[in-house]
Amino acid sequence: MKVSFLLVVLVLFGVNCSSSEDQIKGVPSIIISDISQLEGDDGTLIIDYEVKLKESYSKNVILNYTTDDGSAFQGLDYKKVNGQITIPVGSTESIISLEIISDKIKEGNEVFHLTFDADMEIEFNKNTAIITIGNDDNSLPYDVEDYSTPTSYEGWDLAWADEFENAEINTSWWTHEIGNGDNGWGNNELEYYTDASENSRIENGNLVIEARSDSWNDHQYTSARMITKDKKSFGFGRTDIRAKLPYGQGIWPALWMLGANINLKGWPACGEIDIMELIGNQPSTSHATVHWGIDFANHKYTGKSYSLTDEIFNDRFHVFSVVRAFNQMWFYVDDILIFEFKSKDAQNQPYPFNEQFFFIFNVAIGGNWPGNPDETTQFPQKMLVDYIRVFEKK
């Protein structure tokens, strides 16, 4: 009997040991999901985000998490959080509370990211969740005041800014391109660009680019085109440009960027980012566009427009913005998200927008897109730029 009892104990002990070892074998598998939530109105909105295990595990599963900006910004659209959560033994989920900052302003659907890692071995279906804040508002972000953006954003550093407050244009940052380019800058434009003060200057804290009907070097019109090439170029970050735009048939203002490697790769392989373009016979509509392609034969472009109601872009200052991150970009007018472009949208062409880009400010006259001025076009026409600010993540 004693022998039999001992055998039973040993058998049971062996089974229990084997069972315990089986429970802790393998790696816990975490399911991370994207979610969407309508923003709501004034105040804050709490979202309970669920982190799930495929099946319960024999140890506590501890995860680190942090939020990060996408097209939504911490401190403006949501409150940043970071920390740890624990999924206890026997459980399959845990909750993270995310706080949305609600208002009644039309902003478009915006996203931020919730990213996970762990000090223990874990299988993630993916490490980052995309949290979409759905717009449910129609109010514009201004009433009678011109629009403005802040001088700082939580979690970002101001990398460069020109507030145009000095007496002269800063030639350490800006270069004037002179002339009419090849075939009217490739667009059959009519203007001759100069560095004369009649065409570009600083006045009352604004950069003024003035398009004029006056002859210069056998051209009927003059204007200015300023670039930061070889002086200031930038990669990922947020750019805000506050401007008041000219109008009229044949007038074509632009605030845009080209790849700093254009001399090596050429256009459109270097990439082009049109933060704002406007054709003057449609003075209530601005356009955000991107151009790319391995060569001219494979040139691709896409974009979106934004239209004002009962006013034109010459009536007041507006802010035109682009945010660039790895393999994606977002474009805004007055912090209203109007256009998003990702590497997967590149139509099997190389995506050049992860590289360094420089800025171009100009007002063209005539050309393929706007057509030529006519008897309705009034000169001079001025584009006023109050500031350009470039922010990079800390």
Closest residue by Cα to residue 275 from 260, 266, 288: 288
Instruction: Give dist(CA 23, CA 18) in Å, integer.
Output: 9
Instruction: Provide the pairing of β-strand 328-333 with 381-393.
Output: unpaired
DSSP state letters, 268-313: TTT-EEEEEE--TTSTTEEEEEEEE-SSGGG-EEEEEEEE-SSS-T
Closest residue by Cα to residue 311 from 332, 333, 280, 284: 284
Per the DSSP assignment, residues forming a β-bridge with 78 are 74, 100
Taking each continuous run of H as one helix and of E as one strand, the counts in the chain are: 2, 27
Active site members: 272, 277
- Are 39 and 135 in contact by the 8 Å Cβ rule? The answer is yes
For residue 5, the SS3 value is helix
- Are 343 and 327 in contact by the 8 Å Cβ rule? The answer is yes
| Amino acid in the structure at residue 145 | E
For residue 230, the SS3 value is coil
**CB within 8 Å of 9: residues ≥ 6 apart:** none
Q: Is 165 exposed, middle or buried (0-12, 13-18, 19+ CB in 10 A)?
A: exposed
Cα three-residue angle 356-359-365, rounded to 5 degrees: 140
Closest residue by Cα to residue 221 from 243, 255, 188, 256: 188
Please count the residues of the chain.
Answer: 394
What is the DSSP code (8-state) at residue 147? P
For residue 140, the SS3 value is coil
Instruction: Give dist(CA 199, CA 169) in Å, integer.
Output: 12
